[in-house]
Structure 1
Amino acid sequence: MILIDLYFACLASAKSFVGIYSLDLYDELMECLLNQENLSPEISLILNNVLLNNVDLVLRFHRESLMKRIIIKSDTIMTSVHDFQRRPVLSLVEWKYYLQFKKDFLAAQKSYSNAILFANLIGDTYLENKLKEEWELDTTT
């Protein structure tokens, strides 16, 4: 999975999406990741990181169905392994989903509030400030 994460990093900087960087291959890899089941807690955490680390590609390629599945999968993983450190990031992903794909400002605002709440709960003021900056960028452009 870490190699797939590296591949996605390379894909993000690709000049064109052909050959090894084709969108078909991207879609296949995302399907494989999202269909993973019965993983150990350690591997589940890695999967969650890979999914959340690469949401920018989902947004860039306008893959609404993948975005929704990432949100569901990430929430399932966090709940099953009781790891809520990345919960603010998932809430950020949710608000981007609502803004970009659903055009639902109120739902996005609720996800933003949840992101700030979870950042406060884990005591991460740096993350809280970054979330506020990102919200400002997303809602003023």
Structure 2
Amino acid sequence: MVEDLRKFATLVKKYRKQKGMTKEELCQDESELTVRQLTRIESGLSRPTLTKINFLAERLDMNLFSLMPDYTELPKEYLDLKYQLLRNTTYSDKRKIYEEEKRFEIIYENYYEDLPEEEQLIVDILTTISDVNESELIELGNHLLEDYLDQLKKKNTYTLNDLLLIKLLLIIMIHDDDIYCNPGWQLLPQIVQRLLVDDGELLIYQQFVLRDTLFLALGLFFRLGDYKKVREILDRLIQIMELTQDYQKKSLIDMFEWKYYLSYKNDKKEAKEYYESAIHFAEMIKEDMLLKKLKQEWQQDIK
């Protein structure tokens, strides 16, 4: 593994210099690859993902396979574990939290050290999201955002890593008592507008992350009283649900619909229909913790 990294690092550095390119020139606006990341790749300290290798090959005007002759696929078990972490929600259920912790444990014990840097970042962000959600200590996530926030500002489209960083940012904003002083506050409109754009290139598991990120944005815009944006996000969430044919979050969509009709439309009858739909679906998928939270939320909203 170390020898493969060194060979790849030597190739990248050699071809970059042959092209007469500085690191800054190769990285362009750093939206795909930062100078820091390139330095780590050329030093043999980071195993790049296929996306990064593709970018390097294009910038160096090279055949992809001449740059990555020894590229190996990620282990199937790791991919399965990652998929479960990306898709599932714990709803503060102790059993689900335990299962999530076991998945992290297996990844760290068996796979983490050999993962490409971007995959390690995915695991780091997912771990941090879990920690911040459980502890509500926003300081736990600030170090990751400090490293990548500037890069996010330059993006026109978002990768999986970007979506996870945005998810972490929104979670921190939700738990921040002084949201208007949060570094993400100025970025929020720009980020959400890009999330609302229909990107047909996202894979299904990336759609799950986009969905969960939009739910967080939805909560923030309810808090801010921006019901125009609330409606846009709800419509996008319905679109994603129909696209993926994954209805596990339908009860949450119904919950936000009832809140929308109560708070903005002042239509208690319509709101109650969405409440009953949310309860029915939570019962159908046997999510007891979600069912309990929905009932509590409804009682609080109709006071």
Instruction: Provide, for residues 26-75 of structure 1, a one-character-per-residue CA deviation record: whole Å limited to 9, x for no partner.
Output: 11111111114202211111100111133221111111111111111111
Cα distance in 1, alignment partners of residues 262 and 182 from structure 2: 32
Structure 1 residues 20 and 111, CA gap change in structure 2 (3 angstroms):
same
* Corresponding position: 1:41 with 2:173: no
Distance 1:2 1:136, change over 3 A: same
Contact 1:119 1:125 in 2 (8 A): yes
Cα distance in 2, alignment partners of residues 3 and 16 from structure 1: 17
Contact 2:173–2:182 (CA under 8 A) maintained in structure 1: no
Q: Which runs of 5+ in 1 are unaligned?
A: none
Q: Summarize deviations over 1:112-131 as a string: whole Å, max 9, x none.
A: 01100110111122211211
Aligned equivalents of 1:57, 1:108: Cα separation in 2 = 20
The structure carrying a bigger helix percent of its residues is 1
Equivalent position to 1:6, from 168, 174, 179: 168
- Alignment partner of 2:281 out of 115, 118, 122: 118
Q: Check conservation: 1:14, 1:21, Cα contact below 8 A.
A: no
SS in 1 for 2:302: helix
Give the 5 Å matches for 1:53-132: 53-132=216-295
Deviates more, 1:130-139 or 1:98-107: 98-107
Structure 1 residues 16 and 8, CA gap change in structure 2 (3 angstroms): closer
* Contact map agreement 2:257 2:274 (CA 8 A) in 1: yes
Larger Rg: 2
8 A Cα contact 1:64 1:101, kept in partner:
yes
Please identify runs of 4+ aligned residues in structure 1 that moved more than 3 A.
Answer: none
Task: Note the C-alpha offset of 1:18.
Answer: 4.5
For 1:20 and 1:128, the matched residues in 2 are separated by 35
Alignment-derived partner of residue 70 in structure 2: none
1:80: how far off?
1.1
Partner of 1:30: 192
Report the count of equivalent residues: 139
- TM-align CA RMSD: 1.6
Give the AA of the match of 2:279.
I
* Structure 2 unmatched runs, 5+: 1-162
Q: Which amino acid aligns with 2:225?
A: H
Q: CA deviation at 1:109?
A: 0.6
